[in-house]
Amino acid sequence: MRLIIIGASSLGMHLTRAMIRQGNEVILIEKDEEVARELAEELDCTVINAEGTHPDILDKAGMDSTDAIVACTNHDQDNILIGLIAQEAGVERVIVKTDDTKFMEIAKKLGISSPINPPHISSTIISDALRGIDTIELSNLIRADVRVIGFKTEEKHAGKRISDVQFPENTECIGFYRNNEFFLARENPKLEEGDELLIITRSGYIDRVYEKLREI
């Protein structure tokens, strides 16, 4: 995978190191000159010292040939702007970090495919712990070559049911999110545009799963 990460925030650095360890090609964009210089010496990836909200900088980083862009600066507005630029350029996977839940909702309304809100995720886990609930992190639950993938339905999927999809072997749809409500696949309700399917499969079947979903 080839991805561009904008912002050497704590999340950005953890993600960059993890992606490098997994053998991905990473381009890191950081506007602080000193930080960028230190990271260029430390990390086995391309580091660009520039402002990531500028379209020409993203073009220079190879936005047109990247698989994903992750905007994780410490400024929600910048992250959303970067997400919109990447989305307009046709980047397949656009992920933006927002610390303010208000910006999370704005990102969703603007159609950004994957907005994330770390404070909300963390507070949910802590809240569960305080109630005595042992929340299992997905990263600890999923092992070997098993993967959980997401797919957002389009207009052509509206009115279809999950049972209409002939998934490859070793693949199951767990259910889907519609706004803030989750539906189990066994309920088999009709899909609507914008539903977010959660699918469990093996890594070797991922491309085939997406092909099947685009066929219906």
pLDDT at 47: 97
Task: Give ranges for CATH 3.40.50.720 in the chain.
Answer: 2-116
Tell me: domain 2-116, CATH 3.40.50.2300, correct? no
- Can you give the pTM of this predicted structure? 0.66
Which element (helix H / strand E) includes 26?
A: strand 25-30
135 near 125, Cβ under 8 Å? yes
pLDDT at 3: 94
pLDDT at 210: 84
pLDDT at 131: 66
First to last CA, the chain: 27
Question: How do residues 4-23 score in pLDDT, each as one tens digit?
Answer: 999 999 889 999 999 999 89
Question: How do residues 62-74 score in pLDDT, each as one tens digit?
Answer: 999 999 999 999 9
pLDDT at 16: 94
pLDDT at 140: 54
Positions in the chain whose pLDDT score sits under 70: 120-144
Instruction: For residue 67, give both structure tokens.
Output: 């698989």
DSSP designation for 84: H
Listed in sequence order, the residues at least 6 apart from 140 whose beta carbon sits closer than 8 Å to its beta carbon are none
53 near 80, Cβ under 8 Å? no
How is domain 127-215 classified at the CATH fold level?
Alpha-Beta Plaits (3.30.70)
Task: Give ranges for CATH 3.30.70.1450 in the chain.
Answer: 127-215
pLDDT at 45: 95
What percent of the chain has pLDDT above 90? Answer: 49
pLDDT at 175: 92
